[in-house]
Amino acid sequence: MIPRKVRGFRDQDPGLSQIKQRIISKASEVYRSYGFEHWDTPVLEYADCLGKYLPDDDTVDKGVFSFKSPELEPVLGTDGKDLKDDAGKTYMENHHLSLRYDLTAPLARVYAEKLWMDFMRKQVVEGKAPMFKRFQYGPVFRYEIKVEPGRYRQFEQIDFDTVGAEDVMTDAESCMILSDALEAIGLSRESYVVKVNNRKMLSGYLRSLGIEDLAREMEIIRVIDKADKISLSELEMELGAGRKEKSGGQIKGLGLSSELINPIVELLGAFGDLSTRASVLADLDKLIGDDALAREGLAELYRIDEVLSRLGFEESRINFDPTLVRGLGYYTGPVFEAVSLESYKDAKGKKRKIGSICGGGRYDGLVANLLGMKVPATGASIGIDRLADVLINTGRDMAQAVGPVLIVMFDDQLMMEYQVIARELRSAGIACEIFYGARKQLKKQLSYADKKNCPVAILIGEDELAKGVVTVRNLALGKELSSSISDKQEWKQRVQKEVVREDLVAHVKSIMA
C-alpha cells in the first residue's frame, strides 16, 4: 500500500479552510437576509433521482461518480408501491447510487419528495405549487475526464434557490443576492460583474430563423457559450464548416447555412463590449424581431432593469450581456453569471484570468423530471473553491490561518500549571494548546509554533514559577522584526516580556487585539 489520495481530489490546509468558511458564513448571512433557510441533503442519492443520467452498468458514467448499492431494495412502480411478480413476490434490485454533481438536483428531489403524496392525491395543481426557498452548501462531485489545476473532482458550492415562484422579480433578486454576497465576502465593486441574459430571447430568435428542434438549439447554444473564449469569426466557423485550432486540433462545425449563421453572428456581434443596461435593451428591441417568446424574454429583462435601477444596482454591479447563454441545457429563462474581472500572476509568472465565479438561472422544467408536473424555479450558486482562489491569488486574504497560542512545555512537573493557564485562556475566548510533541527542545517548540503561525508563546519554567511570573513571547511581532534585526539579544528583548502571573490573560489579549 502506498499512501496517496485519489486523482483529482485534494487535501485542504487550515488557511484555505478558513477562507472557505468565511465565504460560507458571509454568503449565508446575505442569503438569509433575503428569506432563504438552510437545508442540507446527503451527498449520495439514487441515480434516477438526480436527473436523467442513468448509468447502465456499474462504472462511472457521463461525469458522475456512480456505483451499484450493495443493498438489495424493492423496485418501485410509478405509484410508489413495490413492484411484484406473478407470484406476488417483490422485485428486488441493487439500485444505482450517485454522488451529487450539484446542489440543484437534490433540491428538486427534496421538493418533489415533500410534494409527492399530495401530488398523487391531486392536492397540488400546476401553477399553484407551494413556494420553497432554501440555501445549501457543501461538496459536490464530478468525474472530470481531464483533471486540471484549479478544477477538482470534489468542490464546494453555496446555492440559493426559489421553487414555486414565477415572478421575474425572483430572478432579479438572484442577481442582487449574488452581488451583495460577493461584496460581503470582500470583493470590491470594480472587481466583478454579474451578467444577465434571457434564454427566451435567444430561443425565440432562433425560432424566428426557423430552428425549432430543441437538440439543434442546444448545439447552437453550446457554441455561443464559447463567446467569451473565442473570437466572433472563430465562432462563425464553428457554426458553419468548423475550424482548425492553433494547437492543431480540428473542431467540427455544426454545418449551418449562412442564412442561419449571419443573423446569429450579427446579433452577437452587436454586443461586443458591455455598455449600459438601457442601451442594451434598446439595441435588443431593434434586433430581436417579433417572435412572441423573444419578446417575452426581452420584457422580462426590462422588468429586471426596472428594479435594479430603482434600488441603485448600477451597471458596474449587474449588467446585461446578450452573448451569455451558459452551458446547461435546463435553463428556460433568465440566466446569470458573475465573473471576476481580476487577473493574477501564477507561480511561474504567467498571467491568469479568473473568469466565472457564480452561475445560475431559471429552470422551470427541472422538478417536472421527478414529479411530472411543471414547477417554476430559479436560483444561483457561488463556486466556493474558485472564489477562495480569487481571494488568495489577489492577496485579499491570507493563505495561512492564524494558529493558537502555544504554551511551551518546559517541565512535566509544571503540567498542572500549564493546564490551568490553558483553561484561563480558553475561558477568555483565546485558542491555545500545550505542546505535547516528542521533541521538547525549546527550539523545536518555537519552531512548531512558527510553522503553525501561532501569535503568542507562553513560557514558564522553574525561574518564572519561582518569581510568580510568566514569559510571554510575541511571535507575530518577532516575525515582523526578524528581517530588520540581526542581533539575537535585541530581538529577544523587544519581542518578549515577563508579566506577573495574574496579568497573563489581559496581556495576551492586548497583544492579539
Q: Which of 14, 35, 42, 63 lies at the binding interface for RNA (CB under 7 A)?
A: 63
Q: Is 359 helix (H, G, I), strand (E, B) or coil?
A: strand
Residue 428 near RNA by CB under 7 A: no
Would you count residue 145 as binding RNA (CB under 7 A)? yes
Q: State which residue, 257 or 486, has the beta carbon closest to RNA.
A: 486
CB of 90 to RNA, least distance (A): 30
At 181 the three-state DSSP class reads helix
Distance, C-alpha 250 to centroid of its chain = 33
How many residues of this chain bind RNA (CB under 7 A)?
A: 64
Q: Is 295 one of the binding residues for RNA (CB under 7 A)?
A: no
Give the one residue of 74, 263, 329, 355 binding RNA; rule: CB under 7 A.
329
418 scored as a contact of RNA (CB under 7 A)? no
Tell me how far apart the alpha carbons of residues 151 and 146 are, in angstroms, rounded to a whole number.
Answer: 9
Q: What angle do CA 377, 378, 382 make, to 5 degrees?
A: 140
Choices 20-28, 31-39, 74-82, 443-451 (CB under 7 A): range interacting with RNA: 443-451
Does position 269 bind RNA by CB under 7 A? no
DSSP E strand stretches across 164-270: 192-198, 242-244, 250-252
Q: Does 210 bind RNA (CB under 7 A)?
A: no
With CB under 7 A as the contact rule, the residue among 185, 318, 391, 459 that binds RNA is 459
User: Is residue 62 near RNA by the rule CB under 7 A?
Assistant: yes
Nearer to RNA, 11 or 148 (CB): 148
Report the C-alpha gap between 104 and 445 in whole angstroms.
48
Shorter beta-carbon distance to RNA: residue 254 or 287: 254
First to last CA, the chain: 47
Residue 474 contacts RNA per CB under 7 A: yes
Q: Which of 7, 89, 121, 310 binds RNA (CB under 7 A)?
A: 7
Give Cβ neighbours of residue 171 (< 8 Å, ≥ 6 apart): 300, 304, 333, 334, 336, 361, 362, 378
Stretches 162-170, 260-268, 425-433, 445-453: which one binds RNA (CB under 7 A)?
Answer: 445-453
- Interface with RNA in residues 13-52 (CB under 7 A): 50-52
SS (H, E, C) 110-174: HHHHHHHHHHHCCCCCCCCCCCEEEEEEEEEECCCCCCCCCCCCEEEEEEEEEECCCCHHHHHHH
Q: Which of 166, 176, 199, 182 shows the shortest CA–CA distance to 367?
A: 166
- Piece of the chain touching RNA by CB under 7 A; list 13-21, 118-126, 277-285, 492-500: 492-500
Q: Hey, how many other C-beta atoms are within 10 angstroms of the C-beta on 17?
A: 12
Q: Which residue among 68, 95, 207, 222 contacts RNA (CB under 7 A)? A: 222
Residue 418 forms beta bridges with which residues? none
Closest CB 433 distance from RNA, rounded Å: 16
If binding is defined by CB under 7 A, does position 268 make contact with RNA? Answer: no
Centroid of chain to Cα 159? 7
Q: For residue 297, give the C-alpha cell.
A: 424574454
Distances (CA, A) of 138 to 26, 34, 178, 266, 356: 15, 20, 18, 41, 19
**457 has which bridge partners?**
406, 473
Site string for RNA, 228-247 (x = CB under 7 A): -xx--------------xxx
Minimum CB–partner distance for residue 323 and RNA (Å): 16
User: Does 146 participate in binding RNA (rule CB under 7 A)?
Assistant: yes
Instruction: Establish if 488 lies at the interface with RNA (CB under 7 A).
Output: yes
Regarding 102 and contact with RNA (CB under 7 A), the answer is yes
In terms of CB distance, is 131 or 218 closer to RNA? 218
Shortest distance, position 442 Cβ to RNA, whole Å? 3
Member of 20, 109, 133, 142 binding RNA (CB under 7 A):
142
Piece of the chain touching RNA by CB under 7 A; list 111-119, 139-147, 269-277, 301-309: 139-147
Residue 233 and residue 230: Cα distance in Å, rounded?
8
- Show the cell assigned to 453: 503561525
Region near RNA per CB under 7 A, out of 121-129, 142-150, 207-215, 265-273:
142-150
* Helix%, strand%, coil% for the chain, nearest 5: 40, 25, 35
Residue type, 64: V
Query: In angstroms, what is the C-alpha Rg of the chain?
Result: 29
Residues that bind RNA (CB under 7 A): 7, 50-53, 62-64, 101-102, 142, 144-149, 222, 226, 229-230, 245-249, 251, 327-330, 410, 439, 441-444, 446-447, 449-450, 459-461, 463-464, 471, 473-479, 482-483, 485-488, 491-492, 495-496
